[in-house]
Chain A
Amino acid sequence: MAKSYYDPADLRKFGKITEWSEELGNKFFDYYGKVFEEGALSAREKSLIALAVSHVVKCPYCIDAYTKDGLQRGITKEEMMEAVHAGAAIESGATLVHGVQMMNKYDKLSM
Chain B
Amino acid sequence: MAQSILTDIKKAAKKSLKAREDALASTQTQMEILNGELFADGELPYFKDKIAETGQFPLRPKTLEVLQINVGYMCNQVCGHCHVDAGPDRKEIMTRETMEECLEVIRNTGAHTLDLTGGAPEMNPDFRWFVEEASKAGIQDFIVRSNLTIILANKKYHDLPEFFKNHNVHVVSSMPHYTRGKTDKQRGDGVFDKSIKALQMLNEVGYGMPDSDLCLDLVYNPSGAFLPADQAAMEHDFKKALKEDFDIDFHNLFAITNLPISRFLDYLIASDNYEDYMYSLVEAYNPAAVENVMCTNTISVSWDGWLYDCDFNQMLDLKVASKVKHIKDFNNDVLNNRDIVISQHCYGCTAGAGSSCQGTVA
Cβ proximity bits A8-51 to B, threshold 8 Å, 1 near / 0 not: 10001000000000000000000000000000000110000000
Is A74 in contact with B177, judged by CB distance below 8 angstroms?
yes
For A, the interface residue count at a CB cutoff of 8 angstroms equals: 10
Is B224 in contact with A71, judged by CB distance below 8 angstroms?
yes
B162-180 residues with Cβ-Cβ distance < 8 A to A are 177, 179
Q: How far is the CA of A74 from the CA of B255 in the complex (A)?
A: 12
Is B226 in contact with A76, judged by CB distance below 8 angstroms?
no
Q: Does B237 contact A (CB under 8 A)?
A: yes
Chain A min CB distance to B353 (Å): 12
Is B179 in contact with A68, judged by CB distance below 8 angstroms?
no
Q: How far is the CA of A41 from the CA of B196 in the complex (A)?
A: 32
Q: Which residues of A contact B233 (CB under 8 A)?
A: 43-44, 73-74
Is B226 in contact with A74, judged by CB distance below 8 angstroms?
no
Q: Does B229 contact A (CB under 8 A)?
A: yes
Q: Does A110 contact B (CB under 8 A)?
A: no
Q: Please judge, given known A-B contacts A12-B279, A44-B233, whether A72 and B226 are in contact too, CB under 8 Å.
A: yes
Cβ proximity bits A59-84 to B, threshold 8 Å, 1 near / 0 not: 00000000010011110100000000
Is A68 in contact with B234, judged by CB distance below 8 angstroms?
no
Cβ proximity bits B90-117 to A, threshold 8 Å, 1 near / 0 not: 0000000000000000000000000000
Chain A min CB distance to B274 (Å): 13
Chain B min CB distance to A97 (Å): 37
Q: How far is the CA of A12 from the CA of B179 in the complex (A)?
A: 31
Is B279 in contact with A72, judged by CB distance below 8 angstroms?
no
Q: Does B227 contact A (CB under 8 A)?
A: yes
Q: Does B222 contact A (CB under 8 A)?
A: yes
Is B234 in contact with A74, judged by CB distance below 8 angstroms?
yes
Chain B min CB distance to A4 (Å): 17
Q: How far is the CA of A74 from the CA of B224 in the complex (A)?
A: 11
Interface set of A (CB-CB < 8 Å, partner B):
8, 12, 43-44, 68, 71-74, 76
Known: A43-B233, A68-B226. 13 other contacts (CB 8 A): A12-B283, A44-B233, A71-B222, A71-B224, A71-B226, A72-B227, A72-B228, A72-B229, A73-B233, A74-B177, A74-B229, A74-B237, A76-B179
Which 5 pairs between the two chains have the least Cβ-Cβ distance?
A: A73-B229, A72-B229, A71-B226, A72-B226, A68-B226
Interface set of B (CB-CB < 8 Å, partner A):
177, 179, 222, 224, 226-229, 233-234, 237, 276, 279, 283
> Could you write out 8 A-B pairs with CB less than 8 Å apart?
A8-B276, A44-B233, A72-B229, A73-B229, A74-B233, A74-B234, A74-B237, A76-B179
